[in-house]
Structure 1
Amino acid sequence: MTQRAEHSTVMDRLAIDDLITGYAIALDDGDWPAYLALFTDDGRADYRSAGGIEGDTTTITAWLTEVLHHFPIRQHLIVNRRIALARQDGAPGDTATVQADYLNPMRLGGPAAPDDGPADPAAPTGPNYTCAGRYAFTARRTPDGWRLAEVVVHEKWREVVAAGE
């Protein structure tokens, strides 16, 4: 592999890693325009293994907006990222797959809880809903940089702690 190809591979890997980080931040912040901007025009997501839906990004964004509104505190930790770049003639190609584990602690909001946290500052702020599993991302190089073509969630476990426990 030439030095130019190695440099390109490193730059692609960094860009894809940044894309995955942007995904986590957009979900946690409820920044739906940023979430949509991470995807290709024909992007899709599949959250069925976590009790959700599968569909195009417009459908998924509407669903996420409704569901995640109930969790004013959330933090997606996406770790152990394994990036595989497609190769073409010994040089990096225009597609990549990423396997990454996630741990997602969240806190359900009560009827009086604002969107940015618990209503009572003395209330517990720890998670009462935690799920974890593995993401399968497919990314594609576009004129605007790397974008997600597909996201598939493979939930492995979840824990729900009742209020007061």
Structure 2
Amino acid sequence: MPNTEPMTQRVELATVMDRLAVDGLVTDYAVAVDDGDWEAYRKLFTPDGRADYRSAGGIEGDAGSVAAWLAESMRAFAMRQHLIVNRRVRFGILERDTGDTAQVQADYINPMRLAGDGSAAPDFVCGGRYAFELRRTDDGWRLREVIVREKWRRAPQGSGVRVIN
């Protein structure tokens, strides 16, 4: 019987490296939104990448259109901080090569402060779950789809803010 231990170790190391890269991509997504770096946001997606923010009062569309919408919408908030936790990663198969796709389910809490509030504390908080669909490309892992599933929000009375994420 052939010794497959070195091969198994290589596969396990590759899986760990992919998990780290996927985790980094999700973190880069949160940082791009929080920092308002819409060029970085666009670069996180595949050319056909899409995002769906409808459950949070937003839009669904290609990454460029959504980035433009976010740039306008996020002006309402002087501070944003996405905390993305409980990341569940599942690797899939594309063209018979294991590991070319990934699904990530992750919970989020997103404290924000409305522009013009003047305080340091967040006055607007929401939470929910992301569904990320990723694809391995020649440039590394990229987002093919992001779906926001907002579960709750706390907003100041009379703020009229609909767009939160």
Give the TM-score normalised by the residue count of structure 2: 0.87
Of the three residues 21, 26, 35, the one matched with 1:15 is 21
Deviation at 1:45, TM superposition (A): 0.2
Of the three residues 58, 69, 91, the one matched with 1:85 is 91
Of the three residues 113, 121, 129, the one matched with 1:126 is 121
Whether contact under 8 Å (1:128, 1:162) holds in the other structure is: no
Match of 1:160 in 2: 155
Deviation at 1:12, TM superposition (A): 0.4
CA distance in 2, matches of 1:37, 1:58: 9
Deviation at 1:161, TM superposition (A): 2.3
CA distance in 1, matches of 2:157, 2:135: 41
Q: How many residues align?
A: 152
Match of 2:44 in 1: 38
Listed as ranges, the gaps of 5+ residues in structure 2 are: 1-6, 159-165
CA distance in 2, matches of 1:161, 1:41: 38
CA-atom RMSD in angstroms:
1.9
Of the three residues 89, 93, 101, the one matched with 1:95 is 101
Matched, 1:75 2:70: no
Runs of 4+ in 1 over 4 A off after TM superposition: none
Residue-by-residue CA offset, 1:98-123 (whole Å, 9 max, x unaligned): 0000000001112xxxxxxx6xxxx4
Listed as ranges, the gaps of 5+ residues in structure 1 are: 111-117
Report the AA paired with residue 14 of structure 2: S
CA distance in 2, matches of 1:5, 1:91: 12
Residue-by-residue CA offset, 1:15-61 (whole Å, 9 max, x unaligned): 00000000000000000111011000000000000000000011101
Deviation at 1:87, TM superposition (A): 4.6
Identity %: 62
Give the TM-score normalised by the residue count of structure 1: 0.87
Whether contact under 8 Å (1:44, 1:151) holds in the other structure is: yes
Match of 1:143 in 2: 138
Report the AA paired with residue 109 of structure 1: A
Matched, 1:63 2:58: no
Whether contact under 8 Å (1:8, 1:92) holds in the other structure is: no
Match of 2:4 in 1: none
